[in-house]
A and B are shown apart, each in its own frame.
Chain A
Amino acid sequence: MNEVVESDVVDAGRRRVLAGMLTAYTASLIPWALAAPVASLNEGTFLALSAILVGQTALDAELGGRLHAALMTESPRFDADAQALLKLIDSEHVDPARLQATLDASHSPLAPLPRQIMRAWCLGLVGEGEAARCIAYENALNAVVVAEVLKPPTYAYGPYGSWSKPPPAKGDGGP
């Protein structure tokens, strides 16, 4: 595990370290993560891994910082595991679509990690059971991804009857 001194200053060198860890394959999945300012190498690793998992080229960096902090509080091993997983994806060119099956098949101790990160970004949740916490709702990715069609529950769709109109006819890119 790398020892990184926390700093608010955007450290280009730090990002180079991150970029240096990755092959062209992985870097191509996360152009944004490599360009975005990060507070630490660990946060950079988290954002890079997140970008690969959620399949987004751009993520809300502020939310990323909050999710990362929450996940670290949840598990002291989080950063180490995240680095290990990123290295694994990078070295073996694991397609995100096959990642979970690959980890499950090898009984990897990293197997729970992708779901933790996905839950954090896509549901805004960190922690399990009674320890679960909501870190994001309106800007969790599952709200953002459908934001031009739906409001998250409790948010008004619109004036009375506006829901009778057809939903915006936009291709949803289904399989």
Chain B
Amino acid sequence: MNARIRKSTLLLAMLLPLAAMHAMATTATHPASAASAAEVQRGHYLTLAGDCEACHTAPGGKAYGGGLPVATPIGSIFSTNITPSRIDGIGAYTLQQFSNALRRGVRQDGKHLYPAMPYTAYAQLNDADVRALYAYFMHGVQPVDTRPSRTQLPFPFNIRASMAFWNVMFLDKRPFMPDPAKSAQWNRGAYLARGLTHCSTCHTPRNFLMAEKPSHALAGASLGTWFAPNITPDADSGIGNWSDQEIIDYLQRGSAPGKGQAAGPMAEAIDHSLRHLTEADLAAIAVYLGSIPSRREPKATRAVDTWGRPYADLASIRGKPLPKNPDQMTGPQLYDAYCATCHQDRGQGSFDGGLPPLSHNTATGRRNTDNLVMVILDGIAWRTDGSGVRMPGFAPELSDRQVATLGTYLTQHFGDPAATVTVGQVRMLRAGGPSSNLVLLARIGLAIAIVILIAILVAIVRAWMRRRHRVLPSD
């Protein structure tokens, strides 16, 4: 399950009912200029950085042919065909229309894109990169003449125009402006991290209107199931105790020994996108991340990845039969049966650490244990780099009670002893997180929208009244 996409559907549910004005389409029609091979190649690199393929290619489908379904309780949302097919893709898009889709969230026919498309981040792109991306999609991608299933959501989700209102409030249309006071490396990192690699889409918490809170940039946010952690430079709550090289290793290979491993949506992002970036670009991102304002959790006492130590406990269960009822298995019994095989008898990992130790590991050291539960349930699987299943998921084998017992055992002995896993938490996460009831959310969104509209109307009327008073003081 793609939690990044799931987060987008959450966003969608909150935003769509915000009925408001309908933005006019920009209809400029520039002919596609002849692109150089170098520009096409650069565009390809940028698509990797932007992770376009993750959503726009269905498993087993043709590249960029769209059709990736995201199942929601109100119907599937399908990604679109962005190949240069003139009938079914974006072959008939001008550069300006392409730019509008990418940076404004407005498609050729003037309709608004659903916010599954991270255009608020892509808005940072400069014109040259938009041109390169356009060149790649027009000349570097094979046209696919098939139209993926059309997204057909019921009312009120089908009112795409509602996005326009939200865009007015929250879409910063200015492309990235380099800061001359900072180094070229910092500027490159900032441009990538804020733009194409769209880190904030997951890592920045959102306000009640589901817009990112700039004051809490990259300070960590729940995606409903997985938790995108704080990646600000705070040494305890963030990644301030990671060296630049550790960040680079993590973004290249999905693991930083002695720190943590990527799982869930972050593993997907690295697998599809970040591992393809040059070392220089990853280093630039690391430098930029080291410069942003720190956010510290109020109760943090030590770095997430410094908890725990190898712990020997299996001797205590040797020679004792397992209980008939699997829910009565103890922490060490569950650890023995499901974890010790790879993480070893004392949680110390394999000789070379390639099968990671469980202490000094963000998986067990985080007070919020959602990711621990999620990785036990789902495991870690990479799709494109050849490593495939890095950790099996145990959702089919382990009950909610077993995951709670096991998870708490892991945090007690290898991680933050104050962190716990509850049965209710496991049940909720297994079911897809609290965000799965989109219809309910839509209704809430609708109610909020009405309140806001009334508030705005009142404000406009008052302002108008005040102005009239000033202009005509002696009416």
**Using a CB–CB distance below 8 Å, which chain A residues touch chain B?**
62-63, 66, 70, 124, 133-139, 151-152, 154-159, 162
Contacts and interface: CB of A to CB of B under 8 A. Distances in A.
Interface stretch (B182-190, B348-356, B412-420): B348-356
Contacts of A151: 344, 350
Interface in B340-364: 340-342, 344-345, 350-352, 354-355
Nearest to B349: A158
Contacts of B345: 138-139, 152, 155
Interface class of chain A by DSSP: loop
A159 B318 contact: no
Contact of B314 (A137, A158, A162): A137
A162 B319 contact: no
A134 B319 contact: yes
Contacts of A70: 319
Given A159-B352, A159-B355, A154 B341 contact: yes
15 contacts: A134-B319, A135-B315, A135-B319, A136-B315, A137-B314, A138-B315, A151-B350, A152-B345, A156-B342, A156-B355, A158-B350, A158-B352, A159-B350, A159-B352, A162-B351
Interface string B323-344: 0000000000000000011101
Given A156-B350, A157-B351, 10 more contacts: A124-B318, A138-B312, A139-B312, A139-B314, A139-B345, A151-B350, A152-B345, A155-B344, A156-B341, A158-B354
Shortest 9 CB-CB contacts between residues of A and residues of B: A159-B354, A158-B350, A138-B345, A133-B319, A156-B342, A134-B319, A135-B319, A158-B354, A139-B315
Contacts of A63: 315
A31 B344 CA distance: 31
A151 to B, nearest CB: 7
A5 B351 CA distance: 45
Contacts of A159: 350, 352, 354-355
Contacts of A139: 312, 314-315, 345
Nearest to A143: B345
Nearest to A156: B342
What is the predominant secondary structure among interface residues of chain B facing chain A? Answer: loop
Contacts of A138: 312, 314-315, 345
B318 A135 contact: yes
Nearest to A158: B350
A136 B340 CA distance: 15
Nearest to B390: A159
A154 B351 CA distance: 15
Contacts of B355: 156, 158-159
Interface residues of B, number: 15
A154 B340 CA distance: 9
Contacts of A157: 350-351
A137 B345 CA distance: 10
Given A66-B315, A134-B318, A134-B319, A162 B344 contact: no
A156 to B, nearest CB: 5
A155 B342 CA distance: 6
A162 B351 CA distance: 9
B315 A162 contact: no
Contacts of B354: 158-159, 162
A76 B62 CA distance: 74
A133 to B, nearest CB: 5
A134 B316 CA distance: 11
A130 to B, nearest CB: 14
Contacts of A124: 318
A72 to B, nearest CB: 15
A155 B340 contact: yes
B91 to A, nearest CB: 43
Contacts of B341: 154-156
A139 B341 CA distance: 15
A152 B391 CA distance: 20
Contacts of A152: 345
Contacts of B350: 151, 156-159, 162
A123 B342 CA distance: 22
B348 to A, nearest CB: 10
B392 to A, nearest CB: 12
Interface string B124-160: 0000000000000000000000000000000000000
Nearest to B350: A158
Interface in B281-327: 312, 314-315, 318-319
A119 B246 CA distance: 46
Contact of B318 (A62, A137, A158, A162): A137
A140 to B, nearest CB: 9
B67 to A, nearest CB: 33
A1 to B, nearest CB: 27
A132 B29 CA distance: 84
Q: Which of the listed residues A62, A135, A151, A156 has the most CB atoms from chain B within 10 Å of its own CB? A: A156
B315 A62 contact: yes
Nearest to A66: B315
Nearest to A168: B351
Interface string B440-461: 0000000000000000000000
Nearest to B354: A159
Nearest to B343: A156
A129 to B, nearest CB: 15
A162 B352 CA distance: 9
Nearest to A157: B350
A119 to B, nearest CB: 14
A158 B351 contact: yes
A42 B135 CA distance: 84
Contacts of A66: 315
Scoring B312, B319, B340 by chain A CB atoms within 10 A of each residue's CB, the highest score goes to: B319
